[in-house]
């Protein structure tokens, strides 16, 4: 089969998607030619090394971007794929629908259906146009699915497909406490956050919780990952609260190194104020056998049952967050129980290979329908 994917080539999720399907099919990846790196940036050379992959770039500069839908439509007509799959409704989904090609799959990523349609009338029209012209819509969250139903999309047109986690790589067996020694010059109880340093992820609440946690667990240490514009502010906040020495701001962790960092820590924390469905970072931590302490937003309640395999905490509440982290640090047996159960939940419901095979089945069914 020849699959044409419209997506941001810089993201880890798209890299993993293309990686999987390029081993089974021919893949043409059409992306805008971004020039500014973001949190998770995948270089073009990654795709050049993949079998059966061709990368096509469309200029994002003004005024070229105004012609992007026409150029993408022309590229699709030249590629002559069996199926087109557009990731992110507002931009690539609109371009996929504008091409007039069928069968068309459009994947919602969260903000594109939860926020963008309410930012402007133009965005809402683009989103509705893309969704209504899609033959199949996928989403990794039930909250995104509900939002699309409210926009007038039939529920049976939307399938839940998770980006998933490779549970053979993200696993407790990768645990190696030497990395904690390297970071902190000692073997300390360790909490890790890997959600980004933008305001939406509210790492500020975690930092404000640290002085409270240290009153009960003085030797606790914290790993805070990612690179974003709030990093300097958060580092200064930590200094003002006299907890900077207990934190390592490690920057962006390479995806291949992430299982080591996660499995070698003791607790996974996400203080996000909003999630567009299932946060892959959360289930990666769970797959590594960590007990999750996460805000009760998005679809987190579908993965974490409060007090059973982790804790759900209200957003922007450092005191409640600190309370739950302290409890888990003091109760090793509970920590292990929560972590083991979290691992099993991810294995059963978000295995990367199982989810990609579900998508492969959809591709075949749609392609067959349009060939008849």
Residues 362 and 270 in one domain: no
**SS3 state of residue 60:** coil
Residues 360 and 310 in one domain: no
Question: Which range among 9-18, 124-133, 269-278 has the greatest average pLDDT?
Answer: 124-133
CB atoms within 10 A of CB 206: 25
Residues 365 and 341 in one domain: no
| Region of 11 on the Ramachandran plot (φ > 0 left; ψ -120 to 50 alpha; else beta) | beta
Residues 343 and 356 in one domain: no
Residues 336 and 363 in one domain: no
Q: How far apart are CA 52 and CA 19, in angstroms?
A: 10
pTM: 0.91
What pLDDT does 39 receive?
44
Mean pLDDT of 165-169: 97
Residue 245 burial by Cβ neighbours in a 10 Å radius (0-12, 13-18, 19+): exposed
Residues 130 and 38 in one domain: yes
Query: Is residue 287 scored above 80 in pLDDT?
Result: yes
Q: What is the mean pLDDT of the chain?
A: 94
Confidence at 372, pLDDT banded by 50, 70, 90: low
Query: Is residue 52 scored above 90 in pLDDT?
Result: yes
Domain region containing 321 = 172-347
Mean pLDDT of 38-47: 70
Residues 150 and 201 in one domain: no
Q: How far apart are CA 46 and CA 10, in angstroms?
A: 10
What CATH number is attached to the domain comprising 81?
3.40.50.2000
The residue count of the chain comes to 372
Residues 143 and 193 in one domain: no
Residues 230 and 107 in one domain: no
Q: How far apart are CA 301 and CA 312, in angstroms?
A: 7
Closest CA to 112 of 95, 87, 78: 87
Tokens standing for residue 178? 């030497």
Residues 336 and 223 in one domain: yes
Report in angstroms the alpha-carbon separations of 249 from 134, 188, 212, 313, 315.
42, 16, 19, 23, 22
Mean pLDDT of 147-157: 95
How many domains is the chain built from? 2
What confidence tens digit (pLDDT) does each residue in 206-248 have? 999 999 999 999 999 999 999 888 999 999 999 999 999 999 9
| Region of 222 on the Ramachandran plot (φ > 0 left; ψ -120 to 50 alpha; else beta) | beta
Residues 182 and 283 in one domain: yes
Residues 259 and 321 in one domain: yes
Taking the chain, what is the end-to-end CA distance rounded to the nearest angstrom?
15
What confidence tens digit (pLDDT) does each residue in 173-205 have? 999 999 999 999 999 999 999 998 999 999 999
Residue 237 burial by Cβ neighbours in a 10 Å radius (0-12, 13-18, 19+): middle
Residue 157 burial by Cβ neighbours in a 10 Å radius (0-12, 13-18, 19+): middle
Query: Is residue 119 scored above 90 in pLDDT?
Result: no
What pLDDT does 41 receive?
63
Query: Is residue 98 scored above 90 in pLDDT?
Result: yes
What pLDDT does 21 receive?
97
């Amino acid at each position: 089969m020849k699959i044409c994917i419209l997506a941001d080539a810089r993201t880890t999720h798209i890299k993993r998607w293309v990686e999987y399907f390029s081993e089974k099919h021919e893949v043409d990846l059409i992306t805008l030619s971004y020039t500014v790196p973001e949190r998770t940036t995948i270089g073009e050379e990654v795709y050049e090394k993949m079998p059966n992959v061709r990368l096509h770039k469309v200029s994002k500069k003004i005024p070229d971007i105004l012609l992007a839908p026409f150029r993408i439509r022309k590229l699709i007509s030249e590629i002559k794929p069996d199926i087109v799959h557009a990731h992110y409704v507002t931009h690539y989904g609109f371009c996929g629908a504008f091409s007039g090609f069928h069968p068309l799959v459009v994947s919602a990523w969260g903000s594109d259906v939860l926020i963008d349609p309410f930012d402007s009338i133009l965005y809402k029209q683009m989103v509705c146009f893309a969704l209504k012209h899609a033959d199949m819509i996928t989403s990794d969250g039930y909250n995104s699915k509900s939002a699309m139903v409210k926009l007038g999309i039939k529920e049976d047109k939307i399938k839940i497909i998770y980006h998933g986690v490779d549970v053979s790589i993200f696993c407790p067996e990768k645990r190696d406490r030497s990395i904690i020694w390297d970071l902190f010059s000692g073997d300390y109880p360790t909490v890790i956050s890997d959600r980004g340093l933008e305001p939406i992820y509210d790492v500020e609440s975690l930092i404000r919780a640290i002085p409270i946690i240290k009153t009960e667990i003085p030797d606790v240490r914290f790993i805070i990952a990612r690179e974003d514009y709030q990093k300097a502010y958060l580092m200064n906040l930590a200094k003002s609260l006299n907890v900077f020495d207990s934190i390592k701001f490690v920057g962006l962790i390479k995806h291949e190194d992430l299982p080591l960092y996660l499995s070698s820590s003791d607790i996974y924390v996400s203080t996000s104020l909003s999630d567009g469905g299932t946060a892959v970072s959360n289930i990666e931590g769970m797959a590594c056998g960590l007990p999750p302490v996460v805000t009760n937003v998005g679809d987190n309640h579908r993965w974490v049952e409060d007090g059973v395999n982790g804790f759900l905490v209200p957003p922007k509440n450092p005191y409640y967050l600190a309370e739950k982290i302290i409890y888990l640090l003091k109760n090793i047996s509970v920590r292990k129980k929560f972590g083991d159960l979290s691992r099993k939940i991810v294995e059963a419901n978000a295995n990367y290979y199982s989810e990609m095979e579900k998508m492969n089945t959809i591709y075949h069914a749609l392609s067959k329908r349009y060939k008849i």
